[in-house]
Every structure is written in structure tokens, then in C-alpha cells.
Amino acid sequence: MRYDLNLLPVFMALMEERSVTRAAARLNITQPALSNALTRLRALLLDPLFIRERYGMQPTPKAQELAPAIAAALAALDGVILGQQAFDPARAELLLTIAPNSYVEFVLVPAIVARLRERAPGIRLRLTPYGSDLADTGVISGTTALVLGRIVDPPDNLVVQHLIDDGLDCIVRADHPTVGARLTKAQYERLKHVNMLPPGRLRVGLFQALERQGLKREVAVSVTHFLAIPEMVAVTDYCATLPRLICRHLAQDKRVKVLPAPVDLGTFPVHMAWHVRYRDDPAHRWLRALVDEVAKDVAAGRAARAS
């Protein structure tokens, strides 16, 4: 039996976008052409596949059953074709979109950019907001190359790789009137705190860590960017609890001092994820290896090494 392989990307685009308009734009075809392809898919598979509902095109049980097999087939086909293509990072001219959360943007992205400048000056990065949902990043639809942050319960079409683990420390102003060389639990609970509100799961992890240790915290102000915190701590008697690698950067600011948390707040993971279709893409594989290398170097304090 002969199959039209062009129909398979149409199926996956509809499965991931749940919209004829978005799927057509993603495939760079007209909406009538996509609708025609869907009609042929329905005839081939003897199922409606996608039902138009109030909030978009919802897959039928048959479509949901077929999706993993079709995704795997397309990924295998990409692997065969792309695996034959050589990739030379020194000569590559690419624009790649990545979605780091605010933590990764602060801690890892500058070192990633520096490493790219040395090894692949023709590769440009575009950063897109991480947001509060993976769907907002574009990684689920495949328009974004990588998402970087803490990833919990990813969908089946994402591959997730663990990069590093980080811990938590505290910062107060250097000449704090009541906090010296160490921060006690009693002091921590008496102080007012600056709270970081990044999107995603990091704040949940901190709240859970505090709760596990029975450590109370009175939040005086919440901010949305790490760069706001040293400015605020430097002119108040407030305290902030932050990832250790963030604190390593802030320790260079003579207005503040970094102290261990009064109790062990544990660690949190940092992940990298990408769409399954990029599993064997040479350029993406190279970029993922570079990101993994940079993350390990930064965690070990070797970020300055560029080559």
C-alpha cells in the first residue's frame, strides 16, 4: 500500500498546535491546503482524527493512539536524513531560539554566548520568555530549539536531560546591623525577606524546602528579576534566599554578603529539553553538547574557559 508521507507532518502539526491556522502557519502552507490534507488523512485512517471544539481542534482517541508512532517515525526519518549532513560549527550561519527561565538566563546564558562566540560565531541566539507553561515557550511545537529550567511532567514529545543541581544560600547587606558572619534560624525568621517570583517551578521548590525544614519567612516585597534583589538588599535590612550560583555572582558586589542558609534547604535540578524531532539534528546535537558542557563548567567554577 502506498502512503503520502507529506500527510504525517500535517497530522503532527495539528496534534501539537490544535489549530488549523497555527498548524498551517507552522508548515508554511495555506489553510485550505491544510484542510485538504486533513480530509485525505481522515479518508486514509478511517477516523475524524480532530474534532473542532470551542477551544480548538481536539484529537480523537484514534489520533491520540497514533500520535506516538507517527512522531517516532518522523524522528527516525529525520535521523536518517539529517545524520548524513555534516555540521561545521565554525562555518554555520544559524539563528536558534531558546527559552531559558530567569535563573538560567542569569547563570548560564552569558557563558553560553561567550562559548558560541569562540566556537561558532555565525550562530545567533534568540531568547524567548520561559513563561509559566511549557506550551508558551514553543518547545512543544518545535519552533523553539531548547527550553532550559526546571521541567516537571513533560509531554511525550519532549526529550529531557538533567544538566546540574544547585543549592540555596542567603544574602544580606554587608554592614547589616544584626547579622554577622553567620545567619541563625532565629535571625532568619526575624528578618523581613525579598522574595523572587520567577515563572515555573523554582519558587514552588523554595516554599516546599522552607516548609520541610519548618523555617518561617516574612516576605516584605516580591520581585520578578534577580537583578533587582541586590539593589533592594543593599539599602535595607532585608534578606533574600537565592540559588547558590546566583549568590556566587552577587558575592562580587561589595554592598552585600553571602551566607549559608541557617538550615539545609536541599538542592533543585536544572534541565534542558527539546522536541523529539531534533534528537538527531546535527546542529541541535552540537548546541546541546555545548550547553551541557557550559552548565558543568559554570557549576564547577570554570565558566571562564572558552575552548
Using 50, 70 and 90 to split pLDDT, how confident is the model at 234?
very high
User: What is the spatial distance between Cα 239 and Cα 146, in angstroms, rounded to a whole number?
Assistant: 33
Asked if pLDDT for residue 307 goes beyond 50, the answer is: no
Q: Say how many Å lie between the first and final Cα of the chain, rounded.
A: 52
- For residue 202, the surrounding DSSP H or E stretch is helix 202-212
Lowest mean pLDDT among 26-40, 138-152, 223-237: 138-152
More confident residue, 50 or 209: 50
User: What is the spatial distance between Cα 43 and Cα 293, in angstroms, rounded to a whole number?
Assistant: 48
Phi and psi at residue 260, in whole multiples of 5°? Answer: -60, 150
User: What is the spatial distance between Cα 21 and Cα 268, in angstroms, rounded to a whole number?
Assistant: 39
CB 112 within 8 A of CB 81: no
Sign of CA dihedral 274, 277, 279, 280: negative
Over the range 225-240, which residues count as b (16 or more CB within 10 Å of their CB) and which as e? ebeebbeebbebebbb
CB 87 within 8 A of CB 94: no
The predicted structure's pLDDT at residue 200:
45
Using 50, 70 and 90 to split pLDDT, how confident is the model at 306?
very low
Top-confidence range, 64-73, 209-218, 241-250: 241-250
Q: 10 Å Cβ neighbour count for 23?
A: 26
CB 183 within 8 A of CB 261: yes
3-state helix, strand, coil in the chain (%, to 5): 40, 20, 35
Using 50, 70 and 90 to split pLDDT, how confident is the model at 85?
low
Q: Which amino acid is at 38?
A: L
- The strand pairing partners of 149, in sequence order, are 271
Q: Which three cell numbers stand for residue 267?
A: 538542592
| Distance set, CA 118 to CA 100, 112, 227, 304 (Å) | 21, 10, 27, 12
Domains observed in the chain:
7-82 (1.10.10.10), 94-164+269-299 (3.40.190.10), 168-266 (3.40.190.10)
